[in-house]
């Protein structure tokens, strides 16, 4: 038998709806010509991924870890080597599949001896990660070099200590010679391992139709995608999903908004798991982001069509639903089904292939 809703609750819901009314008023989307759309994008932080190695260096090289052909080649070898995991079965590439979006396409990362991430976190994409200003879901690492050391040491991922990594690599005459050629030191250090992998990851940038459109090819993306791109620029998405990587530039609160009307379910056979979640989906894993304040590094949207399931715990399978959630809980103005289709069409243009740079 259903409980009656208290009059005070009804009043609160009504007040909330009135206050929130401006967010629910659907405004006409601005119509832009191709040139206007491109100019608006380029006038923000949106830029195409560089096509040449020299341009790549200007965009991503790290003064504390200068890139070189030899260092990049060494990093690539380490990235794919299972020697860096305790039982020699896992490599960086195990969870970051470059031909599948740069992640592992499962809700939670699986590591050493089949262990799942204890916070039910999935693997963020490594593609274009070098363009981001922070790494990991909570943004705790400043760059890809620092990030590279995390999974190697995590007991539920590769389960190694820096000392164990150094001992294994120093026992390999081949690796000792390669590291000496790159770093000019006789002994391999864990810091060198991080730097080599980081240098390689800085080359993992992707280009696609979106980049060609920004560079002047009007036919690179569809009319539907152009409408979606206009929505993305005009409705506020670009405020967080910024930069060449279309994300990864800041740590933001999620969700920004909640709605009292959703808690009416308390009286009507609620799903307790959802009611108790601080998110608009089940809080599998209980992760609360940076400083437990529901703050997350803004995900990189390049290749987002290939990096599902979505959100930190992989709670949402469909990209369309992820877009709806973001429009409602971050922008405060839930997109219509037609708008969602347009935005997804735009997000598809962010698919791309890893650029084969002519590395000097």
- Does 259 have pLDDT greater than 70? yes
Give the count of domains, the chain.
2
Question: Do both 57 and 44 map to the same domain?
Answer: no
- The secondary structure of 250-288 as a DSSP string is -EEES-S---GGGGGGGGSS--HHHHT-SSSS--TT---
Question: Across residues 275-302, what is the average pLDDT?
Answer: 94
Both structure tokens of 126 = 């490594």
- Which residues form the domain of 167? 53-201
Question: Do both 165 and 64 map to the same domain?
Answer: yes
Question: Do both 248 and 349 map to the same domain?
Answer: yes
359: β partners? none
Question: Do both 140 and 210 map to the same domain?
Answer: no
How far is 343 from 136, CA to CA, in rounded Å? 25
Q: Which residues form the catalytic set?
A: 157
Pairing of strands 251-253, 295-297: antiparallel
CB 323 within 8 Å of CB 338: no
* 283-288 LR contacts (CB < 8 Å, sep 24+): 283/313, 284/107, 284/108, 284/120, 284/313, 284/314, 284/315, 285/108, 285/117, 285/118, 285/119, 285/120, 285/121, 285/312, 285/313, 286/119, 286/120, 287/119, 287/120, 287/121, 287/137, 287/312, 287/313
| Helix, strand, coil % over all residues of the chain, rounded to 5 | 45, 5, 45
Q: Is residue 360 part of a domain?
A: no
For residue 22, what pLDDT band results from cuts at 50, 70 and 90?
very low
How far is 103 from 123, CA to CA, in rounded Å? 6
Question: Across residues 219-247, what is the average pLDDT?
Answer: 98
pLDDT tens column, 302-335: 999 999 999 999 999 999 999 999 999 999 999 9
* 286-294 LR contacts (CB < 8 Å, sep 24+): 286/119, 286/120, 287/119, 287/120, 287/121, 287/137, 287/312, 287/313, 289/137, 289/138, 289/254, 290/138, 290/139, 290/140, 290/251, 293/253, 294/253, 294/254, 294/255
- Does 2 have pLDDT greater than 90? no
Question: Do both 224 and 101 map to the same domain?
Answer: no
Question: Across residues 17-43, what is the average pLDDT?
Answer: 74
Question: Do both 234 and 141 map to the same domain?
Answer: no
For residue 15, what pLDDT band results from cuts at 50, 70 and 90?
very low
Q: Is residue 359 part of a domain?
A: no
Question: Do both 297 and 163 map to the same domain?
Answer: no
Question: Do both 329 and 298 map to the same domain?
Answer: yes
Question: Do both 237 and 348 map to the same domain?
Answer: yes
Q: Is residue 2 part of a domain?
A: no
Mean pLDDT of the chain: 91
Alpha-carbon torsion angle 265, 314, 128, 157, nearest 10: 140
pLDDT tens column, 152-188: 999 999 999 999 999 999 999 999 999 999 999 999 9
Which residue, chain included where needed, has tokens 């590769």?
158
Per cent of the chain over pLDDT 90 is 86
Pairing of strands 353-354, 206-207: antiparallel
Among the candidates 201, 219, 234, a domain finishes at 201
pLDDT tens column, 98-116: 999 999 999 999 999 999 9
CB 322 within 8 Å of CB 171: no
Question: Across residues 126-133, what is the average pLDDT?
Answer: 98
Question: Do both 142 and 19 map to the same domain?
Answer: no
For residue 92, what pLDDT band results from cuts at 50, 70 and 90?
very high
pLDDT tens column, 190-200: 999 999 999 99
Query: What is this structure's pTM?
Result: 0.89
Nearest to 160 by CA among 208, 222, 93, 92: 92
pLDDT attached to residue 197: 98
| CATH number for the domain harbouring residue 164 | 1.10.760.10
Question: Across residues 280-291, what is the average pLDDT?
Answer: 96
Q: What is the largest CA-CA distance in the chain?
A: 77
Nearest to 189 by CA among 221, 211, 163, 209: 163
Question: Do both 221 and 252 map to the same domain?
Answer: yes
Among the candidates 149, 176, 201, a domain finishes at 201
Straight-line distance from the first to the last Cα atom of the chain, in angstroms, rounded to the nearest whole number: 73
How far is 321 from 331, CA to CA, in rounded Å? 15
């Amino acid at each position: 038998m259903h409980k009656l809703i208290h009059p005070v609750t009804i009043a609160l819901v009504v007040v909330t709806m009135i206050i929130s009314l401006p967010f629910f008023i659907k405004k006409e989307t601005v119509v832009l010509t191709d040139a206007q759309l491109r100019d608006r994008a380029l006038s923000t932080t949106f830029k195409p991924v560089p096509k040449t190695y020299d341009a790549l260096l200007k965009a991503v090289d790290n003064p504390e870890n200068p890139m070189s052909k030899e260092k990049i080649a060494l990093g690539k070898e380490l990235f794919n080597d299972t020697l860096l995991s305790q039982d020699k079965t896992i490599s960086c590439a195990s969870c970051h599949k470059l031909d599948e979006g740069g992640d592992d396409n499962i809700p939670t990362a699986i590591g050493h001896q089949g262990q799942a991430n204890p916070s039910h976190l999935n693997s963020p994409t490594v593609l274009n990660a070098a363009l981001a200003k922070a790494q990991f879901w909570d943004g705790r690492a400043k760059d890809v070099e620092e990030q590279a050391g995390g999974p190697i040491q995590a007991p539920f991922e590769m389960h190694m200590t820096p000392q164990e990594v150094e001992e294994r690599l120093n026992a390999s005459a081949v690796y000792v010679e390669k590291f000496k050629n790159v770093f000019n030191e006789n002994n391999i250090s864990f810091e060198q391992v991080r730097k080599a992998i980081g240098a390689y990851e800085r080359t993992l940038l992707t280009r696609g139709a979106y980049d060609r459109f920004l560079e002047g090819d009007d036919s690179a993306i569809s009319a539907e995608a152009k409408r979606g791109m206009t929505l993305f620029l005009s409705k506020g998405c670009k405020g967080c999903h910024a930069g060449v990587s279309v994300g990864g530039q800041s740590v933001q609160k999620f969700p920004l908004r909640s709605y009292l009307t959703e808690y009416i379910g308390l009286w009507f056979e609620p799903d307790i798991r959802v009611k108790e979640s601080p998110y608009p989906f089940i809080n599998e894993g209980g992760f609360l982001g940076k400083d437990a304040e529901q703050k997350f590094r803004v995900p990189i949207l390049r290749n987002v069509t290939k990096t599902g399931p979505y959100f930190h715990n992989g709670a949402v399978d469909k990209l369309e639903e992820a877009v709806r959630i973001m429009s409602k809980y971050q922008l405060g103005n839930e997109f219509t089904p037609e708008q969602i289709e347009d935005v997804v069409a735009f997000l598809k243009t962010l698919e791309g292939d890893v650029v084969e740079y002519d590395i000097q």
